[in-house]
Every structure is written in structure tokens, then in C-alpha cells.
Amino acid sequence: MGGQPLFILSEDSQRTQGRDAQSSNIMAGKAVAESVRTTLGPRGMDKMLVDSSGDVVITNDGATILNEMDIEHPAAQMIVEVSESQEEEVGDGTTTAAVIAGNLLAEAEDLLEQDVHATTIVEGYHEAARIALEAVAEQVLEADVDDALLEQVAESSMTGKGTGGLTPAELAETVVEAIRHVESDDGVARDDVSVHTQVGASSSATELVPGIVIDEEPAHDEMPSEVEDASIAILDVELEVRTGEVDAEYTIDSIDQLNAALDAEEQELRGYAETIADSGVDVLFTTDDVDDRVAAYLAKEGVLTFADLGNKDARKIASATGASRVGALADLEAEDFGHADRIRTETFGGDDLAFVEGGAAAEAVTVFVRGGTAHVVSELERAIGDALDVVATALESGEVVPGAGATEIAIADEIRSAAAGIEGRKQLAVNAFADALDVVPRTLAGNTGQDPIDALVDLRAAHEAEGRAGLITQGEDVTIDDPVEYGVVDPADVKREAVESATEAATMIVRIDDVIAAE
């Protein structure tokens, strides 16, 4: 064979191999995790993110931050996915998961430098993750998951978030009430709880609406603004003068003929309104246009009408009130009607909203979030969203664990005990996993201005002596004690998911030793 070099890649593609590839991937992953570290816990700081069009988001939420950041590096993107899957699966713990993943990578880097093979690290991490999941199960509290405990779960998830003028405790009550409302023998219908935001009042005006809220105004000023005990129809029909399929032109040669043509039109429109009124319906929603004259007739008949509804809102109303959607006016019958205890409309500084309360079919509820500015309202919406998720998660599984780093301390302790019995270099990887989990209590300490190492040492000692020890923040005070006594608790599933998704991403990144990028 001649000395001709063999090119299998195009000239423009870039290739990094071996330790270089590992290092740059690990560095990128670590950098992403590092970027959200300071937002963890009750004393976490907020970030202000400005996108290319100048829109500003101010948030403390890990998933939101990583989502808004324009991250390109593929390994970094995998850490973003950790927080995304955390958000999807359990709705909270997104910063925790990303920070753990970043530290698993940092520990792996050290091991690689000590010549521990990547596959040994991967095996060790998987082994440690298994031990961690068993340890989480051991941390589950014996206590019944009652309203008081659920409120603590909600409050713990909101501590440190921008909740406007409201305290997390005040919001927690609303959140638990909402989730209890959608609980049945089949579980928790989390999707039946919506959050609707409206800028303009102080956040203390935030309330639970026993139904749904949509951005709609009545089709006519003179329609009733409130209907009680309402039968409801949803139409997918245009209520305008019918235009023919073919363009017909006809010549009018007398004023009588013109009047007759106009009368026929009026007749047709009035006919629509009469058909609707005669059907006995009180409130009409239609996904199509309504001619102003039809709206005026309907107003005279006292039928509250909302026109041009979005498909999504139409579905929401159907599912909340039990109304079936009707595709032709002639088919409108009482058996298609839904029902609600009350429908009312209200104007908030130029925005018109319709409240459909006490729907017959579903148990839908809406947390109606108020706040002085759009930023306050958005962050409040995220905090409430997280709280709804954790309460639903905790209620469904019935499993709650101590927060404030106590569970992570306990898991790390279990892993270290188990590591002693593991042979070979894998033991190093298992221990490294425990060290990586320490990042949670260390970061909680660092974010409260404490020395992370001292705090970690004290926490471990307290854990050894008392069995349950977290770094609890209450107002200005930071104490090492049993978090359960202070009501700092998280759903067990949030910890499980964080361990699993962080392990998955870190091991995937560590295994890569060749990056081939097309131009």
C-alpha cells in the first residue's frame, strides 16, 4: 500500500479526540451548572436575562434560566436537558439537578486525571445512584401527607422566589386548596389547575377561582355581565350573512326590491339570534365571527355571547362545563348544553376577562395571579407553577423527605458507607458521587454567606449525632437542625429525579471521547 493519506471526513469538519474531547465537554457541562449555582435555595439570587429583541426575564428558576440562555455547546445542552426533564417530570428541583450534574462532571474530571477509566467512572456512578435511590426511600417521613405537610412542601418550593408582597405561607394555602380541588380516586388531575396572570393589582389580590378564566369580552355592550345558573352552548358556526359560493350579481331596479333584499338579510340574521334564544341557552361561545347585528339581537334576547374564541379556550370551556361543540345552528339542542354556576365578565385596566365558575363537568380551578408589574406576575406564576407541581407530586406518591440539604447529606453518608465494600477503582467513583452530592448543602451554605466547608463539616457531624440535619434559613437566621421541625420538606420524587437525570447526563458526557463536528 502506498503512503497516500486516507480522508474519510470532509475538510471542513472538526474533530477532537481522547482527553481533549472529554475535557472540553466536561468543562462546558460544568460551566452551565455553575451559571445557576447562585440561585439555589432560599437565599438564591435572581438573574436578569435579556434576549436579542431586548425582552427581559427576571427569575430564580433554574429551568427558566437555562432555557432562556442561548446555549450552543452540545455537552452544555445536555445539562440544560437535565433541568428540562426535571421540570417536566416533577416540576421542581431544576437547579439542584443541574448543579449535581455539574459536580458529577467535576468529580469525573479529577478521576480521569488519576487515570481512572471512563467506563469505571460510569459503572461507579450507576452503582452510587442505585444506593442513592435506596437512601431516598429511607428518608421518607412517616407522617401523613395532610394539608399542613402539603403546605410546607409548597412553601419550601417557593422560599426565595419572588412572590411579590405575599409570603410563601400565604400562597401555599391557595396552592394546596387548588390541588385538593382536583384530587379524586383516580389521582391528582394537575392539568385541571390553571394559572392565569393579570397585571394591575397588588399580589395580595391573588385568588383561587373555582373554574376557568379566559381572555374574552362580550360580543355586545348591552349583554348581561353576569349570568347565574347558566346553560352554555359552544358553536363552531359563523353568525354572519351567508355569502354564496358563486359570485352572483343581480340588478335592482326599484327601491322596493332593494328594501326586500335588505329585509331578507335582516331576516336571516334575526333568524340566527332567534334560533339561539329559542334553544334556551343563556351563554353562547362561538369560535367564529358574529355579525354586529346578530350580537345586538342576542343582547336584546339577553344571551351573553362571546365570539371568535380560540380553539384552546373552546376546549377548556367544553371540558369544564360539559358542553358539546355544535357545528351547525340547526343542530343546536339542549342536550349539547353545558352548565356553570356563574359566568361573569370583568375589565382589568383595559383587559376583559370572562370567569366561568362552577362548571358542571370538570373540577377545573384557576389560580388568578395578580401583581403590580409584568415581571412580578411572571415570577409569581413560575413560583406558583412549581408549588402546584410539588404538591401534586407529594400528594400522589405520599412521600416527602427533609429539605435544606438534609436528604443529600444522608444519601452521601449512605453511599460512603457502601463504598467501603466496593472493590477496585470503582470505589473511587462511588465516593466521588457522594462528594458531588455535597454540592447541595455546600451551595445552600455559600448562598447564605456561610463558609461552605465549615457548614458541610458541621452538617455531617450533626447528621451523625442527630440523624437528620439541614441548613435551615429563616429570615435572617441560619441554623443547623432537623428541617422537618421547621417545615422545610421536599417531595421524595424531586430528589429521585434529580439523582437519576443528573447521573444520566453526566455518564453520557463522560463516555464521549470523540467529537466530530460537521462544518
Catalytic residues: 61, 94-95, 386
| Contacts (CB under 6 A) with ligand ADP, residues 92-121 | 92-96
Q: Choose between 426 and 495: whose C-beta lies nearer to Mg ion.
A: 495
Q: Choose between 99 and 269: whose C-beta lies nearer to ligand ADP.
A: 99
> Other C-beta atoms within 10 Å of 184: how many?
10
| Near ligand ADP by CB under 6 A: residue from 25, 163, 450, 473 | 473
| Contacts (CB under 6 A) with ligand ADP, residues 424-453 | 440, 444
Q: Choose between 102 and 210: whose C-beta lies nearer to ligand ADP.
A: 102
Q: Choose between 404 and 430: whose C-beta lies nearer to ligand ADP.
A: 404
Q: What share of the chain is helix, strand, coil (3-state, %, to 5)?
A: 50, 20, 30
- Polymer length in residues for the chain: 519
C-alpha to C-alpha distance for 419 and 439, rounded to whole angstroms: 19
Q: Are strands 226-235 and 207-209 parallel, antiparallel or unpaired?
A: unpaired
Helix (H) or strand (E) holding 149: helix 147-158
x/- letters, 17..46, toward ligand ADP (CB under 6 A): ----------------------xxxx-x--
Closest contact distance (angstroms) between CB of 387 and ligand ADP is: 10
| Contacts (CB under 6 A) with ligand ADP, residues 57-86 | 62
| Contacts (CB under 5 A) with Mg ion, residues 3-22 | none
Residue showing cell 387548588: 178
Contact between 488 and ligand ADP per CB under 6 A: yes
Closest contact distance (angstroms) between CB of 33 and ligand ADP is: 12
Cell of 497: 429525579
C-alpha to C-alpha distance for 63 and 67, rounded to whole angstroms: 6
Cell of 238: 359563523
Closest contact distance (angstroms) between CB of 461 and ligand ADP is: 18
Closest contact distance (angstroms) between CB of 155 and ligand ADP is: 8
Closest contact distance (angstroms) between CB of 482 and ligand ADP is: 12
Closest CA to 153 of 92, 87, 196: 92
| Contacts (CB under 5 A) with Mg ion, residues 138-157 | 157
| Contacts (CB under 6 A) with ligand ADP, residues 355-414 | 403-404
493 binds, among Mg ion, ligand ADP, none (CB under 5 to 8 A by kind): none
| Contacts (CB under 6 A) with ligand ADP, residues 151-210 | 156-157, 159-160
| Contacts (CB under 5 A) with Mg ion, residues 230-249 | none
Contact between 490 and ligand ADP per CB under 6 A: yes
Q: Choose between 92 and 500: whose C-beta lies nearer to Mg ion.
A: 92
Q: Choose between 382 and 426: whose C-beta lies nearer to ligand ADP.
A: 382
Q: Choose between 116 and 390: whose C-beta lies nearer to Mg ion.
A: 390
Closest contact distance (angstroms) between CB of 106 and ligand ADP is: 18
Closest contact distance (angstroms) between CB of 172 and ligand ADP is: 12
The alpha carbon of residue 402 and the mean position of all alpha carbons in its chain are separated, in whole angstroms, by 23
Contact between 484 and ligand ADP per CB under 6 A: no
Residue showing cell 362545563: 321
Burial class of residue 426, CB neighbours in 10 A (0-12, 13-18, 19+): buried
Residue whose CB is nearest to ligand ADP in the complex, by number: 403
Contact between 92 and Mg ion per CB under 5 A: yes
One DSSP character per residue, 110-135 reads HHHHTT--HHHHHHHHHHHHHHHHHH
444 binds, among ligand ADP, Mg ion, none (CB under 5 to 8 A by kind): ligand ADP
User: SS3 for 73-84, per residue?
Assistant: CHHHHHHHHHHH
C-alpha to C-alpha distance for 335 and 348, rounded to whole angstroms: 35
Q: Choose between 336 and 379: whose C-beta lies nearer to ligand ADP.
A: 379
C-alpha to C-alpha distance for 191 and 308, rounded to whole angstroms: 24
Closest CA to 351 of 222, 224, 227, 216: 216
Burial track 1-13 (b if 16+ CB lie within 10 A, e otherwise): eeeeeeeeeeeee
366 binds, among Mg ion, ligand ADP, none (CB under 5 to 8 A by kind): none
Closest contact distance (angstroms) between CB of 133 and ligand ADP is: 17
User: Angle, to 10 degrees, between the axis of helix 74-89 and the axis of helix 18-37?
Assistant: 50
Cα distances (Å, whole numbers) of residue 148 to 143, 189, 395, 396, 414 = 11, 20, 12, 16, 30
Count of helices and strands (H, E) across the chain:
16, 20
Q: What is the DSSP letter of 354?
A: E
Chain positions contacting ligand ADP, by CB under 6 A: 39-42, 44, 62, 92-96, 156-157, 159-160, 403-404, 440, 444, 471-473, 488, 490
Q: Where do contacts with Mg ion occur on this chain (CB under 5 A)?
A: 92, 157
